[in-house]
C-alpha cells in the first residue's frame, strides 16, 4: 500500500511542479502541494528501501561536499561572439547570406546567468556541469538538482545532453539580498553573480534556498529534429523549461525589429537579459558554416547598449566619507533606468562637474554604468533657458564647518577636521567592516547610534564597549544576545593580522592590497611607523603618493597616540603569515586576472594567489608573469598574447593548485 502511494505521490508532485515551474500554470494551490510533499517525505523516511534519486524530495538540498570534481565535456561548450551595433550584426549576417541567401534565424533572449550542461542517461538526471574553460567544467549536480523546474526524469532512454543558463529571477535576487542585509553580509552585485555564487556553494541546502531557475536552449547533437527551433520544442515536450519568447525570422531586418521590440520591455521581464542571441536555424547549414577556434560562425550575441534617459538636476550636494573625502552628488527628478527608479548619482569631484559643465536646473542624460551604478553622462546645454545655476564647490565641510583642503596630487577635496562627525562615524564603521577588523554587528547604523549616545567616538572606544552594557541594551532593537555577540566579535578582532588593522585605520591611498603588502614587508607596526619615504618608495607597487600618505599619517602625533592606545588595549600589531609554504609556480610572481571567472569569485582567486605569495596586478605589462583568464576575456588577454606573457585558463589554474 505504502509503495503504491509513494509512487502516486511522486508522479503527482512531478506533474504539479512541471505545471507550476515550467508551464507557469499551476493546477493546485501551494498549500495542497505542500501537504502532499510532506506526506511523501514522511513515507520515504519510513521506507528507505524505496529510495529514488528522481523523487521530488531530492530537490530540497541535502549534500555537503569538500570540493567540486572536474568533468571534461564530451563536446566543448563554446562561447558566442559579440556584436554591439546593428551594422556589426548586418556584417555578420551578410557572410552567412552570401552562402545561404534563404537562411532562417532563430532569435532568443540572452539570459544573464551561468552556462550549464545537463546530462541524462536512461531517462534519469545524471550530472550538471559548468562551462568552465569550455573543455573542462565543474560537477555541480547536487546544487542544480535543487532547481525546481529541472526534470529529474524524462521520457527518453538515450543519452541526452542539453545546455542552457542557470539564473536567479529578480524576485529571488531581491529576497537573497534582503537576507544578506539582515545577516550583515555583503550584498550580491547583480543576479548573475548571485546565481554563480549559489551554484558554487558546497552545501546544496544553500543553493536550494536561493530560488534559482534555468532556461535550456541548446542540444549539442540532437537526432530528434533537423533544426534548432524544433529541437527546443522537443526538449519542451520532454519536460525542460524552454523560453517561449524565441522567434523565427526570415532575414536580418526582421531580427533587428525583434531586438527593438525586446529592448522596450526587457526591464519588465522577471529575469535579467543583457542581449539577444541569433542562430542559424537549420542544422545542416550550421554544420557547413562551422566554427572558429572558439566560437560558432552560425550564431552571434547582440549586446544591448546602456540605456540613457533625460532628467533634470534639482540639487548638487556633498557627502563626507571616512577619510574626510568630500564627494559631490547630483539629485535629479526620479527616472526609470534599466528597470529601477533612480534619483541620485555620484559626480566624483569638482573637475568632473566643471568638465561636464553640470549645473543645477540642467537637463542631463543619465544611465547605469554596467546596468548597475547610476551615472551622469552629460548635460544638454541647448536646453538651457538662463535659470540654470553653475555649481561652486564649497570651501567648508557641510557636516562640521571645517575648512576643505585639496591635495596637489588629487582631484578630491577633504575635510581635515579629525573630529568631524561624518569622518568619525564612517571611519569607525570602516574600521569594523568585514575586510578590515571584521567586527560583526557594528555597521554604520549601529556606530551612529552609539555615537549619538556618546559611547563611541574613536577606534579605541570600540574596545571599551563591554563596559557600556546598560546603555547599549537601552538602544532600540539591541537585545542581550546582540550585545553578547558584539562583545565577542570585538574581542576576537584583537587577534587579527596587522594588514587588517592597517586597512581599518583609513590611511590615505592605502587600500586592502597595499595594507597586505606593507604588513608582509615590515612585519610589525613599529617597523612600519618608523619607515622612511625612501624605504616605502622602494617597495614594488607602493608609489610615491602612497608612500607620502603613509609617512604623513605616522608623523601625526594623534595617530601615533591612537595606535599606542590600541596596543595597550590588546590588539595584535604583527603580521601573521598565512601564505602557503614552499615553492610554487606563483610565488613572487605578478599575476593579472581577467574575464568572467566561474570556478572562483575574483576575490577568492586573488586571495588564493596572495596566499601563494603572488602579487595581483590590475593591468598587463612586460613585468606581468601570468594572466589567468575566464570567459569573455578581452583586451587584457589580447595584450598578454601580444607581449608574450604566459596565459592560463581558470581551469588550468585550478589544476595547478
- Catalytic residue numbers read 110
Q: What's the DSSP call for residue 291?
A: B
Report d(CA 421, CA 399) in Å as an integer: 7
Burial of 411 (0-12, 13-18, 19+ CB in 10 A): exposed
Q: Which of 251, 243, 222, 246 is nearest to 234 (CA)?
A: 222
Is residue 34 within 8 A of residue 17, CB to CB? The reply is: no
Is residue 496 within 8 A of residue 517, CB to CB? The reply is: no
Q: Which residues on adjacent β-strands are paired with residue 300?
A: 278
Report d(CA 393, CA 66) in Å as an integer: 55
Is residue 248 within 8 A of residue 105, CB to CB? The reply is: yes
Report d(CA 186, CA 202) in Å as an integer: 19
What would the grid cell of residue 176 be?
Answer: 537573497
What would the grid cell of residue 375 be?
Answer: 551615472
Report d(CA 335, CA 425) in Å as an integer: 31
Query: What element of type H or E holds 287?
Result: helix 283-289
Backbone angles phi, psi at 293, to 5 degrees: -70, -20
For the four alpha carbons of 140, 145, 146 and 148, in that order, the dihedral sign comes to positive
Cα dist from 178 to 174, 259, 271, 576, whole Å: 6, 33, 17, 35
What would the grid cell of residue 13 be?
Answer: 508532485
Cα dist from 337 to 38, 60, 368, 376, 378, whole Å: 43, 36, 7, 12, 16
The DSSP-derived string for 427-488 is HHHHHHSTTTT--TT--HHHHHHHHHTTS-SSHHHHTTGGG-HHHHHTSTT--HHHHHHHHH
Is residue 548 within 8 A of residue 533, CB to CB? The reply is: yes
Q: Which of 55, 51, 63 is nearest to 153 (CA)?
A: 55
Is residue 284 within 8 A of residue 341, CB to CB? The reply is: no
Within 10 angstroms of residue 475's Cβ, the number of other Cβ atoms is 17
What would the grid cell of residue 340 be?
Answer: 529601477
Q: Which of 521, 439, 520, 438 is nearest to 487 (CA)?
A: 439
Within 10 angstroms of residue 537's Cβ, the number of other Cβ atoms is 15
Is residue 204 within 8 A of residue 64, CB to CB? The reply is: yes
Burial of 519 (0-12, 13-18, 19+ CB in 10 A): buried
Is residue 273 within 8 A of residue 266, CB to CB? The reply is: yes
Dihedral angle, C-alpha 19, 23, 27, 28, nearest 10 °: 60
Is residue 331 within 8 A of residue 358, CB to CB? The reply is: no
Within 10 angstroms of residue 35's Cβ, the number of other Cβ atoms is 11
Amino acid at each position: 500500500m505504502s509503495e503504491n502511494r509513494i509512487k502516486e505521490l511522486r508522479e503527482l508532485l512531478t506533474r504539479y511542479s512541471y505545471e507550476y515551474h515550467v508551464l507557469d500554470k499551476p493546477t493546485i494551490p501551494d498549500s495542497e502541494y505542500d501537504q502532499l510533499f510532506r506526506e511523501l517525505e514522511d513515507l520515504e523516511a519510513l521506507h528507505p528501501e524505496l529510495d529514488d534519486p528522481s523523487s521530488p524530495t531530492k530537490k530540497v538540498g541535502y549534500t555537503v561536499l569538500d570540493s567540486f570534481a572536474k568533468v571534461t565535456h564530451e563536446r566543448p561548450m563554446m562561447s558566442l561572439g559579440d556584436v554591439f551595433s546593428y551594422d556589426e550584426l548586418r556584417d555578420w549576417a551578410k557572410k552567412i547570406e552570401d552562402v545561404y541567401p534563404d537562411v532562417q534565424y532563430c532569435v532568443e533572449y540572452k539570459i544573464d546567468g551561468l552556462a550549464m550542461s545537463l546530462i541524462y542517461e536512461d531517462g534519469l538526471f545524471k550530472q550538471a556541469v559548468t562551462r568552465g574553460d569550455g573543455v573542462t567544467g565543474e560537477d555541480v549536480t547536487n546544487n542544480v538538482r535543487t532547481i525546481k523546474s529541472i526534470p529529474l526524469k524524462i521520457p527518453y532512454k538515450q543519452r541526452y545532453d542539453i545546455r542552457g543558463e542557470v539564473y536567479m529571477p529578480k524576485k529571488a535576487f531581491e529576497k537573497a539580498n534582503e537576507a544578506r542585509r539582515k545577516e550583515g553580509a555583503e550584498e550580491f552585485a547583480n543576479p548573475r553573480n548571485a546565481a554563480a555564487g549559489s551554484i558554487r556553494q558546497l552545501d546544496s541546502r544553500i543553493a536550494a534556498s536561493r530560488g534559482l531557475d534555468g532556461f535550456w536552449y541548446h542540444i549539442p547533437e540532437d537526432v530528434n529534429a533537423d533544426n534548432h527551433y524544433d529541437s527546443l520544442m522537443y526538449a519542451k515536450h520532454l519536460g525542460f523549461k524552454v523560453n517561449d519568447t524565441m522567434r523565427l525570422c526570415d532575414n536580418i531586418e526582421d531580427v533587428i525589429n525583434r531586438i527593438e521590440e525586446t529592448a522596450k520591455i526587457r526591464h519588465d521581464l522577471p529575469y535579467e537579459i543583457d542581449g539577444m542571441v541569433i542562430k542559424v536555424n537549420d542544422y545542416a547549414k550550421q554544420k557547413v558554416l562551422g566554427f572558429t577556434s572558439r566560437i560558432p560562425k552560425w550564431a552571434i550575441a547582440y549586446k544591448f547598449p546602456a540605456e540613457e534617459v533625460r532628467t533634470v538636476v534639482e540639487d548638487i550636494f556633498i557627502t563626507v566619507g571616512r577619510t574626510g573625502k568630500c564627494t559631490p552628488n547630483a539629485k535629479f527628478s526620479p527616472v526609470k533606468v534599466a528597470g529601477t527608479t533612480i534619483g541620485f548619482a555620484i559626480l566624483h569631484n569638482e573637475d568632473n562637474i566643471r568638465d561636464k559643465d553640470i549645473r543645477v536646473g540642467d537637463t542631463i542624460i543619465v544611465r547605469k554604468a554596467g546596468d548597475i551604478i547610476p551615472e551622469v553622462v552629460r548635460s544638454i546645454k541647448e536646453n538651457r533657458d538662463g535659470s540654470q545655476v553653475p555649481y561652486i564647490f564649497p570651501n567648508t565641510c557641510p557636516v562640521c564647518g571645517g575648512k576643505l583642503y585639496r591635495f596637489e596630487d588629487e582631484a578630491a577635496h577633504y575635510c581635515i577636521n579629525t573630529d568631524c562627525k561624518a569622518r568619525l562615524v564612517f571611519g569607525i564603521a570602516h574600521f569594523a567592516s568585514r575586510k578590515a577588523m571584521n567586527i560583526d554587528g557594528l555597521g554604520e547604523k549601529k556606530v551612529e547610534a552609539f555615537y549619538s549616545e556618546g559611547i563611541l567616538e574613536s577606534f579605541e572606544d570600540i574596545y571599551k564597549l563591554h563596559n557600556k552594557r546598560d546603555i547599549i541594551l537601552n538602544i532600540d532593537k539591541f537585545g542581550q544576545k546582540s550585545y553578547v555577540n558584539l562583545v565577542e566579535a570585538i574581542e576576537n578582532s584583537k587577534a587579527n593580522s596587522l594588514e587588517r588593522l592597517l586597512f581599518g585605520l583609513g590611511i590615505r591611498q592605502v587600500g586592502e592590497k597595499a595594507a597586505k603588502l606593507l604588513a608582509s614587508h615590515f612585519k610589525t607596526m613599529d617597523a612600519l611607523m618608523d619607515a622612511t619615504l625612501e624605504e616605502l618608495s622602494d617597495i614594488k607597487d607602493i608609489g610615491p603618493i602612497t608612500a607620502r600618505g603613509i609617512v604623513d599619517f605616522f608623523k601625526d602625533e594623534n595617530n601615533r597616540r591612537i595606535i599606542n592606545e590600541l596596543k595597550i588595549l590588546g590588539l595584535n600589531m604583527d603580521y601573521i603569515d598565512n601564505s602557503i609554504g614552499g615553492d610554487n609556480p606563483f610565488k613572487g610572481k605578478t599575476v593579472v586576472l581577467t574575464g568572467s571567472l566561474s570556478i572562483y569569485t575574483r576575490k577568492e582567486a586573488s586571495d588564493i594567489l596572495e596566499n601563494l605569495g603572488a602579487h595581483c596586478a590590475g593591468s598587463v605589462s612586460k613585468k606581468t608573469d601570468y594572466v589567468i583568464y575566464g570567459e569573455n576575456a578581452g583586451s587584457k588577454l589580447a595584450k598578454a598574447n601580444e607581449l608574450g606573457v604566459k596565459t592560463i585558463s581558470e581551469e588550468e589554474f585550478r589544476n595547478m593548485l
